Chains A and B, each alone.
Chain A
């Protein structure tokens, strides 16, 4: 089922590339069709899903791959993975719609890279063989690099290189950690394996566990990103084309949070508990620093990028509080931030498409000529400042509730992020939508854009008012964490 899913995306990617030579409009239709048909393998699973009596692993596929090192093509799906896979596919659709008119240069190769990257992300969310996981980790990065370097804005080379170096450095450290983990396991048991479950059983010495854990941890927090490893993000977002920003914010950052929940916490429970206070402090700093940086930006995309740093701080905070509420909050934050920030980037892209600028000093008064776009932008701005009734609030509140009992001071620090979020979010609305109109009127959102935005509005309201199905879906996977951490 999962192999099918990934193959569909990869085949679609190839088709999109080939079809370019036939007709330039063809690739985007193929991309849409591919993403829609990617839901097909999941149909049975989704229909028969019953969160009440659910097993931990909904799907488990394992094929022999490189027998010499006992590396297997092992894909599996639990509630957490399923949520993120669905997010990936949905946001993939949004990204294609966002790219619809914007990409005219080599569209076939663009969609090829986009779909490959998505396939890599889905692989990351499903792989349970550490070697395979690393392969998918790279599969999602390389196309991403090309997407920024080829289709980006003015300073794209620099941004793409920075993105690549940061994530690659993280990837390298992770690879070392994977090797170390496998070797230590081999020394102990005499069996070479990259299998997640086998490695989870393995007890490392305290010191070894700490260093190996650190390797994974750094790779994932670079991806999240967390201060002080966040510097690639503003540049990458600013220079990336809209669709790529959407994917980057909605999905790619989540691989970091997923990695923490799937690998770092279960594989190294004791070491994780030990560094938790430090990590919580880093997370709180990240929330505040990101928000302060967001406020000082003049470039709209940079502003939203820094706000991501702030919001993802809540994910890290949630991961290391070691309570059920905080973990649920972290998962919900990944989903809600995925949707709301993707929407913000899509809207900034829509503004850039119309006015060729993202400079806050040049924008202003857009509500007077683009009421629909402005209304939508206002909605997502309000979502990102944590308005109750929308997904982001539920997520952040759960994280805070879960963290407060063990880390009251740090949680209070993080909660000031809510004030700062209001300040930078309202700055967006104030400087783009309100005041006197400084630019020529332009056409408002067309039907495609309204549909795309409206679907995300509905998603966020759903997450905000009825998050229970999602909570239930992720519950089984998160229960495993508390068992691992002996809570």
Chain B
């Protein structure tokens, strides 16, 4: 009885946005023109419906402690020993994920109705956005890897479509291509991981894979990190996660992805899709736990990325690029936590990050909306009196990002730091702490430059009501959302060790962001943020950081240009020259043989004699 109820709810959660997207698409195809109000009602209503279903699910499962629910709706394909189904798997982890996706997704849909109101492609926008939510829900609910891959590529496609949404601009389309192709590289590695897992374990069911992996490759603590099959599987999956989540070395697409409309950046490139990699690793935590080497790689990638992106965020001028680098950096924290085995801390940070980063992006969207599409923070200034509502939103968003006490971001980041200490990973702890310093610094650099100081450009529009509603709810979530979801620790079977909470250390970690803000205020007062740099060395450093450590230049030189050069050098297809050569040879031989047939008797005579001599020589010498 309950199973049926749950399965129907879950089906509705996924199908509602899909249905709405399909209807809107068919209407566009068959030239049924719909008013914007109708489009908005349908699209937002569908996500709202999903969100309500998710709330019902939460209520239903509120009392269940350690639950897991799986249901198979239909067969997808079955060939010999290979089979894949359309099935869902719901546990604490996927419940948290669908709550974030449908909840934040709903708020962002609501916000977009105002933000996109004047856009002539209103309907197309909501088709893509609905489709994205559906694909994301498939991703987090899938019970097997093939279906997960369906959602995985689906969100990638929607991300591509939405980055290039304003397609008239060449650069947007290029940014979309870059995002798709770079993530595709990771996805292909992940697909190979799927093949390998199926070959070794004979199944693609996620729970089955991990059960069998635990039996087949038990963790041997005495052996240390080794490059064995479970490590290869884990690393291949990790490659997919790294691509999707904008981590080193596939991180450079994400800043460019800001070419899309700002609600898209909030939904896809901050709150949901880019955290899919974190979800993937968390979902496969049993598999990853079997490989110490893979865990170390995850932690190292997270640590390097978090510093890389945070330092890059320090010098950006475009408000969306600051937030984009900050997203990369925060996901770096999540990867670090995953690598440390603190899965629930990682997912907790994923959740709070979804709240405050969605808030920051939507607030940035409202800011850009009010400022005639101005992105450069140094053209703004002193806006706290002109745009008080947006200022409040930014304040709470930045405070949570900087992990100031009592904000949601504080609890999750604090938990990550705590777990790093518990596991005696002091090096990583230091990295994370210095990352926290830089984070607080760049977030308040943004806040001070935009809202304090001398007045720059003046706003000419005010955010609409639905934008304000969405922002207000997100402010509340940002402040009060710091309650760790209860179901998580059961999923990850983490022992709640009463770690000794050293008060001195906690105070220290609180002091770090505060001191960063103080330094930031000091520099801001001295007006040092926007000065032109004189020294060559400093300029070099600035450019290095500004370009995100020069990865674009590196990849262009290493891959893009050689690829284009190599392919274009063989534009005419060298194999064809063999056939044209054949053709020429036959034409030439035709020409020469033709000359023999010239009607002159002496030629014929001579050739007859020559042939007879040759034939006789052959005959006599042959014996």
Contact = CB atoms under 8 A, between A and B. Distances in A.
Given A372-B29, A389-B150, A404-B196, A228 B575 contact: yes
Contacts of B29: 372, 375, 450, 454
B570 A419 contact: no
Interface in A409-458: 411-412, 415-416, 418-419, 422-423, 426-427, 429-430, 433-437, 450, 454
A310 interface: no
B91 interface: no
Contact of A422 (B28, B164, B172, B181): B181
Given A419-B181, A450-B30, A382 B157 contact: yes
Given A293-B570, A365-B168, A387-B157, A423 B77 contact: no
B440 to A, nearest CB: 39
B153 A296 contact: no
Given A388-B149, A405-B199, A419-B181, A471 B77 contact: yes
Contacts of B181: 419, 422-423, 426
B195 interface: yes
A468 B195 contact: no
B79 A471 contact: yes
B192 interface: yes
Contacts of B150: 388-389
Nearest to A386: B153
Contacts of B167: 365, 367, 433-435
Interface string A370-389: 01100100000010000111
A293 B566 CA distance: 10
Nearest to A297: B571
B325 interface: no
Interface residues of B, number: 50
B193 to A, nearest CB: 11
Contact of A419 (B164, B168, B188): B188
A394 interface: yes
A328 interface: yes
B79 A324 contact: yes
A240 B180 CA distance: 33
Given A372-B29, A375-B29, A401-B82, A389 B154 contact: yes
Given A418-B191, A426-B177, A394 B575 contact: no
A471 B78 contact: yes
A465 interface: yes
Interface in A290-348: 292-293, 295-298, 323-325, 328
B185 A419 contact: yes
B82 A398 contact: yes
A367 B167 CA distance: 8
A158 to B, nearest CB: 10
Nearest to B577: A231
B525 to A, nearest CB: 45
Given A228-B578, A296-B571, A418 B170 contact: no
A434 B184 contact: no
Interface in B144-193: 146, 149-150, 152-154, 157, 160, 164, 167-170, 172-174, 176-177, 180-181, 184-185, 187-188, 191-192
A404 B199 contact: yes
A324 B154 contact: no
Interface string B10-28: 0000000000000000001
A434 B30 CA distance: 22
Say what secondary structure dominates the interface of chain B.
Answer: helix
Nearest to B166: A434
A337 B77 CA distance: 18
Contacts of A293: 567, 570, 573
B227 interface: no
Interface in B289-330: none
A239 B573 CA distance: 17
Contacts of A371: 28
A397 interface: yes
B80 A388 contact: no
A295 B168 contact: no
B77 A468 contact: yes
A38 B150 CA distance: 37
B576 interface: yes
B620 interface: no
A481 to B, nearest CB: 12
Contacts of B157: 382, 387
Contact of B576 (A231, A295, A368): A231
Contacts of B575: 227-228, 230-231
A400 B191 contact: yes
Interface string B563-604: 000111011010110110000000000000000000000000
B134 to A, nearest CB: 11
B75 interface: yes
A298 B579 CA distance: 22
B567 A435 contact: no
Contact of A415 (B146, B191, B570, B579): B191
B198 interface: yes
B195 A323 contact: no
Query: Which of A298, A422, A435, A466 gathers the greatest number of chain B CB atoms within 10 Å?
Result: A422
Query: Which of B29, B154, B570 gathers the greatest number of chain A CB atoms within 10 Å?
Result: B29
Interface in A465-480: 465-468, 471
A416 B173 contact: no
A404 B567 contact: no
23 contacts: A162-B579, A292-B570, A293-B567, A293-B573, A325-B79, A365-B167, A365-B168, A367-B167, A368-B168, A375-B28, A382-B157, A387-B153, A394-B77, A400-B195, A401-B198, A404-B199, A405-B199, A411-B192, A419-B188, A433-B167, A435-B167, A435-B168, A471-B78
7 smallest CB-CB distances across A and B, nearest first, come from A324-B80, A434-B173, A296-B567, A388-B150, A434-B167, A404-B195, A422-B184
